[in-house]
Amino acid sequence: MPDPAPFRVVFVCTGNICRSPMAEVVFRTLAVDAGLGDRVTSSSAGTGDWHVGERADARALAALDRRGYDGSAHRARQFTVTAFHDNDLVVALDRSHERILRHWAQDDDHRDRISLLTSFDATAAAPDVPDPYYADDRAFDDVLGMIESASRALFRQLEPAIRPPRSAH
């Protein structure tokens, strides 16, 4: 029996250079560290096209690096309607992204794939992961902490469904 297709998650923020790339890298690391890197994939995109093709913001990369993550391979891209078909879960980093995604969704199947990242984290202090773009380096570290907490909660929820069943020997 062939392995099932991996569960695909896309994280969405405004320009795909700060929050969503951090979430993509954190979530991918959680999957790889749990031995499930082949069972789940993560990507990211922005609602806007301003930064398409660019690396993540240097401050986001530095925050990731300080916590042991590597975001150097990231290149920004824009979310398109086809991403609803290409992903099992579409995760918005704040409510403005969630509203935009719901507007772009073409049917209930698309809408059912959309979730707010903080909705998975019972300890989240606010519904939105704030945009650190116009803030200082510390804001990037704070935002990364929020993303790590919510991503761990999301991963814990998904893990039982993506973990392969144990074989009975």
Q: Which residues are catalytically annotated?
A: 13, 19, 131
Name the residue among 51, 8, 39, 31 with its Cα closest to residue 151: 31
Q: Inter-axis angle of helices 19-33 and 58-66, to 10 degrees?
A: 30
Name the residue among 40, 18, 22 with its Cα closest to residue 136: 18
Question: In this structure, which amino acid lies at residue 75?
Answer: R
Cβ density class 72-87: b for 16+ within 10 Å, e for less: eebebbbbeeebbeeb
Please count the other Cβ atoms lying within 10 Å of the Cβ belonging to residue 130: 14
